[in-house]
Amino acid sequence: MLRPMPRMPSRLNRTEMSLRDKIWQINWSLIAVLTAIAGVGFATLYSAAQGSLEPWALKQIVRFAVGIGVMITVALIDLRFWMRNAYILYAIAMVLLIAVEVKGTIGMGAQRWISLGFIQLQPSEIMKIALILSLARYFHGASWQEVGRPLFLIVPLLMVFAPALLVLKQPDLGTALMLVMSSGALFFMAGVRVWKFVVVIGATLAALPVAWQFLREYQKKRVLTFLNPETDPLGAGYHITQSKIALGSGGMFGKGYMMGTQSRLNFLPEKQTDFIFTMFAEEWGMMGGLVLLGLYALLLAFGYAIAMRCRNQFGRLVAHGVTTIFFLYFFINTAMVMGMLPVVGVPLPLISYGGTAMLSLLFGWGLVMSAYIHRDVPISRRGISDE
């Protein structure tokens, strides 16, 4: 079945592209925005270490460089390759998740890492990408009618909840919620009927009191403290109170680079990881914060443009899924440090110090870029070219 392809330039045959063609298609402005955001991270890590590349900034720069390399490699690989191997990647991520459950390194009270010797692997990060790929592949092959059938949704729901429950058990509430929410967005984009969402959200709200029983003590405390931080300003509410003080005292224009007193005097906990936004906003003020939000919004816009521009469902879903995950990262993190959400361990994407998150995010953006490069490649239901 041949269809008109109005947007396709006639000089290119997008079905089979040469490597040279692909390189020409790399979206450099996307990379520039990513680099700008990461650059904010380097500068803030440099400041967090009292004006030193050690111990954070330099490592982060190296990781970013490696990550960009990975991203471009991923982008140049045929999108159909990723589609074909989506389930395999998902299986690997599942095995790793179970492995940390069985024999993981205990870090910060939660089993999140697995040590491969040279790198501390965080399987939940891999799962975020693998889950998007698998769901995208699953829904790519589905017709409108199929998506409408409730039974058809059982398999993808299992794909979501199996890893989500494992991550929740680590315990990592933040990542579990992110898995569920990003998948929800993907279900929505795939065309699942709106009334089903209404039912699920309603049921979830009804089930909240039950779920409350299963939360860990410290998680309950965080939620309670979030609801009323003044009750315990020196205990569980400490982080939020200090974060708000640091951020608020930054004012409109900030205290100046390397002059954030609160972060510098160690009032701010985890200033190089989860609370890095606070430190940035203390030193650069609301203006700096808005610029950073603007950069993130720009990145989201890129993601959306690529998703909408894509001519195959798989690419659309992948681009949208990665964008959503990215949004969730920075929204949860910034909302948390500003006291709008309870404290959950979610880093600020591309800025917080940490290796796996950086790599998995850039891997994700590599997939988005791949969707962009292969935007006009039609993919059949089984993952083979239509022509």
Partner 1 sequence: MHNDTDRSKMFSRRAMFLGGAKATLIGALAARMYYLQVMEADKYAMLAEDNRISIRLLAPPRGLILDRNGVAMAVNQHNYRVMVVAERSPSLDYTLDGLARIITIGDGERSRIHKEVRRRRSFVPVIVRENLTWEEVARIEVNASDLPGVVIDVGQSRHYPLESLGAHILGYVSAVSESDLTDDPLEELPGFRIGKGGVERIYDMALRGRHGTSSVEVNAVGRVIRELERREGEPGIDLNLTLDVRLQEYAAQRLGDESAAVVVMDIHTGAVLVLASTPSFDPNSFNRGLTVEEWKELSTDSRSPLSNKAIAGQFAPGSTFKMLTALAALEGRDITPEMRVFCPGHMQLGSIKFHCWKKEGHGAQDLISGIKNSCDVYFYEIARRTGFEKIAEMARRFGLGVPTGIDLPNEKSGLMPDKAWKRKALKQPWYPGETLVNAIGQGYVTATPLQLATMTARIANGGYAVVPHVARDPIVDKVVRPRGAPDWPGVGVSRQSLALIRKGMFGVSNEPGGTAYKARITQEGMWLSGKTGTAQVRRITMRERETGVKKNDQLPWKERDHALFVAYAPDHNPRYSIAVVVEHGGGGSAVAAPIARDIMIEVQKRDLARVAGNAGSGEPPPPSDLRRF
Binding footprint of partner 1 on the chain (CB under 8 A): 3, 143-145, 185, 188-189, 191, 234, 242, 244-252, 261-262, 265-267, 281, 285-286, 289-290, 293, 296-297, 300, 304, 307-308, 311, 313, 316, 320, 324, 327, 331, 334-335, 338, 340
Report, in Å, the least distance between residue 43 CB and partner 1: 19
256: number of Cβ within 10 Å: 12
Report, in Å, the least distance between residue 124 CB and partner 1: 23
Report, in Å, the least distance between residue 246 CB and partner 1: 7
Report, in Å, the least distance between residue 139 CB and partner 1: 10
Q: Cα(13)–Cα(11) distance, rounded to whole angstroms?
A: 7
Report, in Å, the least distance between residue 336 CB and partner 1: 11
Of 173 and 189, the one with the shorter C-beta distance to partner 1 is: 189
Q: What six digits make up the tokens of 98?
A: 């179970």
Rg, C-alpha atoms of the chain:
22
Contacts of 56 by beta carbon, 8 Å cutoff, 6+ apart: 45, 46, 48, 49, 272, 353
Of 144 and 195, the one with the shorter C-beta distance to partner 1 is: 144
- Residue (of 342, 382, 368) closest to 129 by Cα position: 368
Report, in Å, the least distance between residue 352 CB and partner 1: 17
The residue with tokens 């063609």 is 21
Of 179 and 299, the one with the shorter C-beta distance to partner 1 is: 299
Q: What six digits make up the tokens of 66?
A: 């490696």
Q: Cα(289)–Cα(268) distance, rounded to whole angstroms?
A: 17
Q: Cα(177)–Cα(158) distance, rounded to whole angstroms?
A: 15
How far does Cα 375 stand from its chain's mean position?
22
153: number of Cβ within 10 Å: 20
Of 83 and 166, the one with the shorter C-beta distance to partner 1 is: 83
Q: Cα(237)–Cα(223) distance, rounded to whole angstroms?
A: 10
Contact 375, 306 (CB under 8 A): yes
Q: What six digits make up the tokens of 319?
A: 């681009």
Of 114 and 376, the one with the shorter C-beta distance to partner 1 is: 376
Of 17 and 246, the one with the shorter C-beta distance to partner 1 is: 246
Of 125 and 283, the one with the shorter C-beta distance to partner 1 is: 283
Report, in Å, the least distance between residue 317 CB and partner 1: 8
Of 95 and 290, the one with the shorter C-beta distance to partner 1 is: 290
Report, in Å, the least distance between residue 281 CB and partner 1: 7
Of 204 and 261, the one with the shorter C-beta distance to partner 1 is: 261
Report, in Å, the least distance between residue 86 CB and partner 1: 19
Determine the 3-state secondary structure of 121 from DSSP. Answer: strand
Report, in Å, the least distance between residue 262 CB and partner 1: 5
Backbone angles phi, psi at 194, to 5 degrees: -65, -40
Of 124 and 262, the one with the shorter C-beta distance to partner 1 is: 262
- Residue (of 13, 31, 10, 22) closest to 370 by Cα position: 22
Q: What sign has the CA pseudo-torsion 222, 224, 229, 232?
A: negative
CA distances from 163 to 31, 101, 183, 200, 227 (A): 30, 11, 12, 19, 28
Determine the 3-state secondary structure of 228 from DSSP. Answer: coil
113: number of Cβ within 10 Å: 20
